């Protein structure tokens, strides 16, 4: 295989791997749609309805968190002990 062909194939593979590293808006929306209403809140005190009905901003922040957890390979120590506030 020629050098150019190899580099093209390598570039395509890298693009494919990069896409797999990030959850898309569509993937987050599909996951959130599957959440059931009326469930008891988890350890963080957040009920499913927050994710489902919180709007685009909430879903966008959820996507950022999920992608960071995915990229970093787990929950970040700096997030431990974060308080949630209700207005």
3-state secondary structure of 24: coil
- Is 43 within 8 Å of 82 (Cβ atoms)? no
Q: Which residues of the chain have pLDDT under 70?
A: 1-21, 76-87
Q: What was the pLDDT predicted at 16? A: 59
Q: What is the DSSP letter of 84?
A: P
Look at residue 48 in the predicted model and tell me its pLDDT.
Answer: 94
pLDDT of amino acid 86: 45
CA distance 51 to 57: 10
What pLDDT shows up at residue 85?
45
Q: What is the pLDDT of residue 87?
A: 42
Give the pLDDT of residue 60.
Answer: 93
Distance CA 67, CA 22 (A): 6
- What whole-number distance in Å separates Cα of residue 76 and Cα of residue 41? 21
pTM for the whole structure: 0.60
Question: What is the model's pLDDT at position 10?
Answer: 67
pLDDT score of 63: 92
């Amino acid at each position: 295989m020629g050098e150019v062909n190899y580099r093209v194939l390598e570039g395509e593979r890298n693009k494919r791997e990069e896409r797999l590293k990030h959850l898309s808006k569509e993937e987050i929306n599909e996951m959130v749609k599957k959440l059931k209403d009326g469930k008891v809140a988890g350890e963080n005190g957040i009920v499913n309805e927050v994710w489902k009905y919180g709007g685009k901003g909430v879903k966008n922040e959820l996507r950022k968190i999920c992608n960071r957890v995915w990229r970093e390979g787990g929950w970040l120590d700096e997030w431990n002990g974060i308080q949630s506030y209700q207005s």
